[in-house]
Structure 1
């Protein structure tokens, strides 16, 4: 089942918003993760994983390929129930020399009320929005770029340079998106245009293998969106900030042949995910996953024909 099929058959972004309220009581304790800050050094980079809160996603999105029995076994392991489960939003704050860099901006007020906590958590760390010098987008879905502006439309990080891949810009800023994209993607396109156009005058379009700063390189991980990228940091064997190239550290490590319901190019995303996990296991590459269990830092270890996540 593709993303387009999943949403077209009755599950809209509006439906997802409603799911948040239904799951709020069950998941309230998980929001405490926003107070945790995992900090580590990687080569010349000082990294703090700052929580943006969590999202609530339905089984139809998380496990479109799973049988009913498989869903019933996996969903509780994610901290959810038979219908929905929480997924964290882990945002790397990277200090390098005079730069203070965010990888994605989180949801702001544009997705689910349980997310959008990044700005408050940065404040608790003593970091004002004006201190951020660079923002690198893995892609322009609302839970990754929705906090580009405040609720009144002002740019949240006014002194930052912004970076997005050429392919991501070209896909989402198509002025004829209503004709060229299925209706299931129209809300996403409007959100991406809102976020990207807000910083157009300070936005740099990048290509795969291009460096943002020395040692921070763009890696193409197309599929979740046509211009999705991951960010690789040099040193200590390498660190790949995966974005949504591999969306869950339980589901897709253990079931690398399964699809994810929000992948725009499902088969491309599947191949990308499999290549990423194969490389990570072979090279013992450290990874940081956006929607993985906080703080989302660890390794892929082979287990028979699949993998298991090993926390760092």
Structure 2
């Protein structure tokens, strides 16, 4: 484990959501399991691959909204009053000889509707052994769960793994269970499984660190204590947001609403507002992990809120 040199709930039990397939049958939106969207951004060649989808309950997606407000939003997401599906969009970034994944999906460690990334990588002609870097925006199981196979082998055997110092310290704390709420314990179990599996390949990063030239870390804490986003230089710099803004429909229109899996709800709101305000002001391109596939677009101001405009 190394430190990278810097360059100029409202909580619900994890297992109840990991078993979210219980409501999946009621939600008809497509899985995007075979999604593949490619575009160029400056020196970067980006392919957005699908890891499938996950199903979240209404209480997780919209904890602040009344039932009458929830219903039309969930319908617009292709769901019903019990919940809705959200996509899992994984960017694969080619830069020179590097192939960089930003998050690696759920593998076999989340809902059965996730874990499609490996299949889609292979279908697109990419060998897992060719992946040189994996950046974790955070260590929730739908973002880091595919670090190892079911038999415990590292799925991307030649990659270096990047995670923020704060994220590493939080989840690998030996006293986690005695110091943190019970609702986080299952999350910590998954995070430790994934992070410790590659501990000898970890690079610890923070604000402003460059993974490759023109690809820098942006701190966006709150969803988890060490959540990061990734900024790529180019025309209309590209911000890859992870879960700093979890859904393009709900949280663009309602930037002051909470999300049920935010570890620090108020800090998460602050990070989201800052992110959307900057993106709208500077006309930055954005890419969101759980946004409508392929999740690439812009934040446009609409009164006190925002509108997502697909690129």
Classify the TM-score, shorter chain. over 0.9
TM superposition shift of 1:53: 0.2
Structure 2 counterpart of 1:80: 79
1:119-198 mapped onto 2 (5 Å cutoff) = 119-198=118-197
Aligned to 2:30: 30
Give unmatched runs, 5+ long, in structure 2.
1-8
Give 1:298's aligned residue.
297
Offset of 1:14 from its aligned partner? 2.0
Q: Secondary structure at the match of 2:51?
A: strand
Cα deviation digits, residues 191-226 of structure 1 (max 9, x gap): 101000000111110111000000000000000000
- In structure 2, the residue matched to 1:289 is 288
Normalising by structure 2, what TM-score?
0.96
Aligned residue for 1:102?
101
**When you count helix as a share of all residues, which structure comes out higher?**
1
1:25 Cα deviation after fit: 6.3
- 2:204 corresponds in structure 1 to 205
RMSD: 1.0
**Whole-angstrom CA distance in 2 between matches of 1:55 and 1:203:** 27
In 1, are the aligned partners of 2:41 and 2:235 still within 8 Å (CA)? Answer: yes
Shift of 1:17: 3.1
Residue in structure 2 matched with residue 258 of structure 1 by the alignment: 257
Match of 2:4 in 1: none
Q: Distance in 2 between matches of 1:211 and 1:17?
A: 33
Aligned partner of residue 279 in structure 2, secondary structure: helix
* 1:6–1:60 Cα contact (<8 Å) kept: no
Query: What is the match of residue 14 of structure 1?
Result: 15
User: Does the 8 Å CA contact 2:163/2:205 hold for their aligned counterparts?
Assistant: yes
Residues 101 and 136, structure 1, Cα contact 8 Å, conserved in 2:
yes
Please say which of residues 299-308 and 18-27 is displaced more in the overlay. Answer: 18-27
Q: Greater RCO between the two (CA within 8 Å, min separation 6)? A: 2
Give 5+ residue unaligned stretches, structure 1. Answer: none
- Paired residue total: 303
- Aligned partner of residue 6 in structure 1, secondary structure: coil
Contact 1:165–1:206 (8 Å) recurs in 2:
yes
Instruction: Measure how far apart 1:18 and its partner are.
Output: 3.1
Residue 108 (structure 2) pairs with residue 114 (structure 1):
no
Name the TM-score, length of structure 1 as normaliser: 0.95
